[in-house]
A and B are shown apart, each in its own frame.
Chain A
Amino acid sequence: MAQETVTFEVRRYRPEREEAPVWERFEVPVREEWMVLDALNHIKDHVDGSLSYRWSCRMGVCGSCGMTVNGEPVLTCATYVASLPRDRPVRVEPLAAFPIVRDLVVDIRDFLVKLKKVKPWLLRKEERSPAEGEYLQTPEELADYKQYSMCINCLLCYAACPIVPLEPDFVGPAAIALAQRYNLDSRDQGQAERMAALSTEHGVWACTFVGDCSVVCPKHVDPAGAIQRYKVSATADWFRSVLMPWRGR
């Protein structure tokens, strides 16, 4: 099997040893079909077992292995080493916009708090009893929100968005896309409830439509589109509530 040695420059951060992250070089014998994740596993298995990083499914569905490779936020299990330029070392860093815990591991609790704020679950004003049967949905109604349901919470969009590090309270692309997944679901009645988290200066209004979030999303969720659509619907709703306050939501 074809093998060549590729130089990897990996960002290390061990708080018990250094004040700030440092680069460390590794020469990795890479097989031609390897992903960056395979190279990291090789380093951990054969070179330095203390290298810390997250991964799980190794097939692009769990969202664990997001890192910055050569300056781009990617899933390391979905990035071929062969697709990267060979004239310089491959640089692997932790995902941008999050605090670094150790080596390539970042702290994502901030995102989890923001996700909970947007109530990403079906909200009903009136629940139906099981005896009344399921909430039926046509394929067209499913198509309305399906794209936004594909999010795997990999947080590449948060790393790509410049507003996330600039405004720490910004709810962020994935959270808003997931909120839209429920807002646009025909079975959901919770749009008004979600507005408190979404239609604020730290919600959709902080977004300036840079658009990088949709570019890096490995699942083609298009969070930028979800946000812009919400801006339009929230604005329409705002005018409705100002001009026709007697109408209930």
Chain B
Amino acid sequence: MRLPREPFFWALFSSGGMLAALVMPALAAVLFFALPLSWLDAGHGALLATFAHPLTRLAVFVLVALSMFHWAHRFRYTLYDGLQLYHLSALIAVLCYGGAAAATLGAAWFLVAFP
């Protein structure tokens, strides 16, 4: 029996979903509100140093990659079922997973090149 592909994407979806569920609300509160409104010190130098650390870069990469694949898998099914676009299934899969892969590559490149 050919090995199904779905379990792999579901694994990415569920780990991404769990990570996003635990981490994103607090992260969003910081990025959208705490930093711009100066509830937390948003000094450029300190933040640059913060994210330069290799472990932080890795954490950011993992968060971005898993979150994007979580979105890809979920949104793919939302389009299939929500708008009944089954005839476009191949295109939707390519756009969703492709988009997530592109974002992951972007994150990887960026984090390697981050000063």
By secondary structure, the A interface counts as helix
Say yes or no for A239: interface residue by CB 8 A criterion: yes
Shortest Cβ distance from residue B84 to the other chain A in the assembled complex, whole angstroms: 6
- Residues A199 and B4 in contact, CB atoms below 8 Å apart: yes
Q: Give the interface residue-count category, chain A.
A: 10 to 19
Say yes or no for B27: interface residue by CB 8 A criterion: no
Of B1, B7, B11, B81, the residue contacting A163 (CB under 8 A) is: B81
The residues of B that contact A196 with a CB separation of less than 8 Å are 1
Of A208, A231, A235, A238, the residue contacting B77 (CB under 8 A) is: A208
- Residues B3 and A242 in contact, CB atoms below 8 Å apart: yes
- Residues A205 and B1 in contact, CB atoms below 8 Å apart: no
Say yes or no for A234: interface residue by CB 8 A criterion: yes
- Residues A205 and B84 in contact, CB atoms below 8 Å apart: no
Tell me the bound Cα distance from A200 to B81 in angstroms.
17
- Residues B10 and A162 in contact, CB atoms below 8 Å apart: no
Say yes or no for B8: interface residue by CB 8 A criterion: yes
The chain B residue with its CB closest to the CB of A163 is B81
- Residues A205 and B81 in contact, CB atoms below 8 Å apart: no
Say yes or no for A201: interface residue by CB 8 A criterion: yes
- Residues A205 and B6 in contact, CB atoms below 8 Å apart: yes
- Residues B84 and A199 in contact, CB atoms below 8 Å apart: no
- Residues B84 and A239 in contact, CB atoms below 8 Å apart: no
The residues of A that contact B14 with a CB separation of less than 8 Å are 231, 235
- Residues B7 and A166 in contact, CB atoms below 8 Å apart: no
Tell me the bound Cα distance from A162 to B10 in angstroms.
20
Shortest Cβ distance from residue A165 to the other chain B in the assembled complex, whole angstroms: 10
With A163-B81, A166-B81, A208-B77 as contacts: A238 and B7 at CB distance below 8 Å? yes
The residues of A that contact B84 with a CB separation of less than 8 Å are 166
Say yes or no for A149: interface residue by CB 8 A criterion: no
Q: Give the interface residue-count category, chain B.
A: 10 to 19
- Residues B3 and A241 in contact, CB atoms below 8 Å apart: yes
Shortest Cβ distance from residue B104 to the other chain A in the assembled complex, whole angstroms: 20
Of B7, B81, B86, the residue contacting A208 (CB under 8 A) is: B81
One digit per residue, 1 when the CB lies within 8 angstroms of any chain B CB and 0 when it does not, for chain A 173-208 equals 000000000000000000000011001110001001
Shortest Cβ distance from residue B93 to the other chain A in the assembled complex, whole angstroms: 11
The chain A residue with its CB closest to the CB of B9 is A205
With A235-B11, A239-B11 as contacts: A199 and B6 at CB distance below 8 Å? yes
Shortest Cβ distance from residue B12 to the other chain A in the assembled complex, whole angstroms: 10
The residues of B that contact A195 with a CB separation of less than 8 Å are 1
- Residues B81 and A201 in contact, CB atoms below 8 Å apart: no
- Residues A235 and B7 in contact, CB atoms below 8 Å apart: yes
The residues of B that contact A234 with a CB separation of less than 8 Å are 7
Shortest Cβ distance from residue A63 to the other chain B in the assembled complex, whole angstroms: 27
Tell me the bound Cα distance from A3 to B79 in angstroms.
50
- Residues A235 and B3 in contact, CB atoms below 8 Å apart: no
Tell me the bound Cα distance from A200 to B14 in angstroms.
17
Shortest Cβ distance from residue B42 to the other chain A in the assembled complex, whole angstroms: 39
- Residues B77 and A201 in contact, CB atoms below 8 Å apart: no
The residues of B that contact A235 with a CB separation of less than 8 Å are 7, 10-11, 14
Tell me the bound Cα distance from A29 to B62 in angstroms.
66
Chain B residues proximal to chain A, CB less than 8 Å: 1, 3-4, 6-8, 10-11, 14, 77, 80-81, 84, 86
Chain A residues proximal to chain B, CB less than 8 Å: 162-163, 166-167, 195-196, 199-201, 205, 208, 231, 234-235, 237-239, 241-242
> What are the 5 tightest A-B residue pairs by CB atom distance, in nearest-first order?
A238-B7, A205-B6, A235-B7, A235-B11, A208-B77
